[in-house]
């Protein structure tokens, strides 16, 4: 145990450990945080991860590139489409294949829909972590519409596997454009409701403002990417800095906040949802004609010898795929730079001196997906 200290009155106090997780309502999966507490004040957070470690990187070494795409769904299951896209982009870039504009635009729309659905889930869960139980189902109501769109076009609601190297599995469903437009119109009326329920609530403001401030320097040093990092002013949006797919032909703002507290991390995601809506609106009416699968990609993909890195912006931050190829049909080494992994370990830095309730709020705004961390 930790050492005993004497208070002014001569009473003995002792710090103690609490295991938060692996089964805990607000760790959103099997994450275990060892909290060193002084009363209710956090002295130290020691994350223990690996409870859903499946050694995806080792599995990839045995798989062909087409198979790897399907495994990536199972990492960050809320950014499933972007994960697939990362591997597909890497293969296409390594083979120097240009996919058609139609594929690019559809991929971008799907990515933004995935981002929206991920943020909707995050918003619902964030409210629930702070004790507002109703938000969860509001988030799910809107997410349901996106899942229906996915189901119609891809045949699945969560692990979609819509991307393949060189294009897409199938063309979009005839209803796709109509339903996406319906969704955008619907969600534009619902997003202000999100603000009314949480953002403008005085209890919520008090719980989040000025809590868990992450400075820009620390965000960079800890490698905190995505909305979590951008809330601290760390400009890291891959969509802006290294545009892929159709992001170079749409206009959107990179949401940058300054304070870096829990509320700005929250607000960054809410604003990001507006940007995603605007991206979808710009593209949905202008899906160009074109082939959905590039004929240049063969059934058995062999990458040239060398090392390749491709990053995409998922809902949680920068997902990087690093592949070392030896020229055969299987990669020699695959490494996924998962955003959640780096984001998680900033918790100890953030939470010191705050209370358990604040830790839960911070954890929510870092938006952890455990399979993404453990891989």
Partner 1 sequence: MYNFSALTQSIHQYLSEAMSPLGAKITEMAIIGLVLIAFVALSVMGLVYIERKVAAFFQLRVGPNRVGKWGLLQTLADFLKLLMKEHIMARNADKFLFNLAPFLIVTAAFLAIGAVPFGLGLQAFDINIGVFYISAVSSIGVLGILIGGWAGNNKYSLIGALRSGAQVISYEISAILSLLTIVVLAGDLQLSAIIESQRDGWWVFKGHIPVLISFVIFLIAGTAETNRGPFDMAEAESELTAGFHTEYSGIKFAMFFLAEYVNLFIIAAVGATVFLGGWMPLHIGHWQAFNHIMDYIPSIVWFFLKTGGIIGIIMWFKWTFPRLRIDQLLVLEWKYLLPINLVNLLVVAFITLMGWHF
Partner 2 sequence: MDRENLQKIIATWGNEAEFSPAPVPANEETGTKAISGTQFLEVTIKPEHLLTYANKLRNEPELQFDFMFNHTCVDFPEHFMVVNHLRSTRHGHEVVLKVKLEDKETPQLETLSHIWRTAEYLEREVFDLFGIQYQNHPDLRRILLTDDWEGYPLRKNYEDPVNMISL
Binding site for partner 2 (CB under 8 A): 49-50, 53, 55, 57-58, 62, 218, 220-223, 225, 234-236, 241, 304-309, 311, 318, 320, 322, 324, 332-333, 335, 337, 341-342, 345, 349, 374-375
Contact 42, 351 (CB under 8 A): yes
Query: What's the closest the beta carbon of residue 290 comes to partner 2, in angstroms?
Result: 25
Query: What's the closest the beta carbon of residue 341 comes to partner 2, in angstroms?
Result: 7
| CA–CA separation, 123 and 268 (whole Å) | 12
> Is the CB of 121 or the CB of 246 nearer to partner 1?
121
x-or-dash string of contact with partner 1, 28-67, rule CB under 8 A: ------------x---------------------------
* Of the candidate residues 71, 132, 154, 301, the single one contacting partner 1 (CB under 8 A): 132
* Of the candidate residues 46, 185, 300, 357, the single one contacting partner 1 (CB under 8 A): 357
Query: What's the closest the beta carbon of residue 152 comes to partner 2, in angstroms?
Result: 35
Long-range contacts from 169-178, C-beta under 8 angstroms, 24+ separation: 170/292, 171/292, 172/106, 172/287, 176/149, 176/152, 177/284, 177/285, 177/287
> Is the CB of 192 or the CB of 304 nearer to partner 1?
192
Two structure tokens written together for 274: 């507006």
| CA–CA separation, 215 and 231 (whole Å) | 9
Query: What's the closest the beta carbon of residue 7 comes to partner 2, in angstroms?
Result: 30
Q: Which residues contact 227 (CB under 8 A, 6 or more apart)?
A: 255, 265, 268, 269, 272, 316, 317, 367
> Is the CB of 29 or the CB of 127 nearer to partner 2?
29
Two structure tokens written together for 149: 């769109």
> Is the CB of 142 or the CB of 318 nearer to partner 2?
318
Two structure tokens written together for 310: 């491709």
Query: What's the closest the beta carbon of residue 172 comes to partner 1, in angstroms?
Result: 29
| CA–CA separation, 54 and 6 (whole Å) | 46
Would you give the DSSP letter of residue 197? I
Contact 160, 80 (CB under 8 A): yes
Distance of CA 147 to the CA centre of its chain: 17
* Of the candidate residues 5, 13, 14, 16, the single one contacting partner 1 (CB under 8 A): 16
Two structure tokens written together for 324: 């070392």
What, of partner 1, partner 2, none, does residue 342 touch, CB below 5 to 8 Å by kind? partner 2
Query: What's the closest the beta carbon of residue 366 comes to partner 1, in angstroms?
Result: 15
Residue 198's nearest CA partner among 128, 115, 272 is 128
- Among positions 280-339, residues that touch partner 1 (CB under 8 A) are none
> Is the CB of 136 or the CB of 341 nearer to partner 1?
136
Q: Which residues bind partner 1 (CB under 8 A)?
A: 16, 18, 24-26, 40, 127-134, 136-138, 141, 197-198, 201, 203-204, 206-207, 355-358, 360
């Amino acid at each position: 145990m930790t050492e005993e200290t004497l208070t002014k009155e001569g009473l003995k106090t002792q710090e103690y450990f609490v295991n938060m997780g692996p089964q805990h309502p607000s760790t959103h999966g099997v994450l275990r945080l060892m909290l060193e507490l002084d009363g209710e004040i956090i002295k130290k957070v020691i994350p223990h991860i690996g409870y859903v470690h499946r050694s995806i990187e080792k599995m990839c070494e045995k798989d062909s590139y087409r198979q790897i795409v399907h495994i990536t769904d199972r990492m960050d299951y809320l950014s499933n489409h972007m994960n697939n896209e990362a591997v597909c982009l890497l293969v296409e870039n390594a083979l120097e294949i240009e996919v058609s504009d139609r594929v690019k635009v559809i991929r971008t729309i799907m990515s933004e829909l995935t981002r929206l659905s991920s943020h909707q889930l995050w918003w619902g869960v964030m409210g629930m972590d702070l004790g507002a139980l109703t938000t969860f189902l509001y988030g799910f109501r809107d997410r349901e519409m996106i899942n229906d769109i996915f189901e119609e076009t891809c045949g699945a609601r969560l692990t979609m596997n819509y991307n393949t190297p060189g294009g897409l599995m199938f063309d979009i469903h005839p209803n796709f454009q109509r339903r996406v437009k319906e969704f955008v119109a619907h969600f534009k009326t619902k997003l202000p409701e999100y603000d009314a329920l949480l953002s403008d609530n005085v209890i919520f403001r008090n719980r989040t403002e000025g809590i868990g401030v992450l400075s820009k320097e620390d965000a960079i040093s800890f490698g905190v990417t995505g909305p979590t990092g951008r809330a601290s002013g760390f400009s890291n949006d891959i969509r802006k800095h290294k545009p892929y797919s159709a992001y170079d032909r749409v206009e959107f703002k990179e949401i940058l906040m300054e304070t870096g507290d829990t509320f700005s991390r929250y607000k960054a995601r809410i604003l990001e949802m507006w940007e995603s809506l605007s991206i979808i609106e710009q593209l949905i009416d202008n899906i160009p004609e074109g082939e959905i699968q590039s004929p240049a990609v063969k059934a058995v993909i062999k990458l040239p010898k060398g090392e390749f890195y491709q990053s995409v912006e998922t809902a949680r931050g920068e997902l990087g795929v690093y592949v070392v190829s030896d020229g055969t049909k299987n990669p020699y080494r695959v490494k996924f730079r998962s955003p959640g992994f780096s984001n998680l370990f900033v918790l100890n830095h953030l939470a010191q001196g705050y209370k358990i309730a604040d830790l839960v709020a911070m954890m929510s705004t870092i938006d952890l997906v455990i399979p993404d961390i453990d891989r």
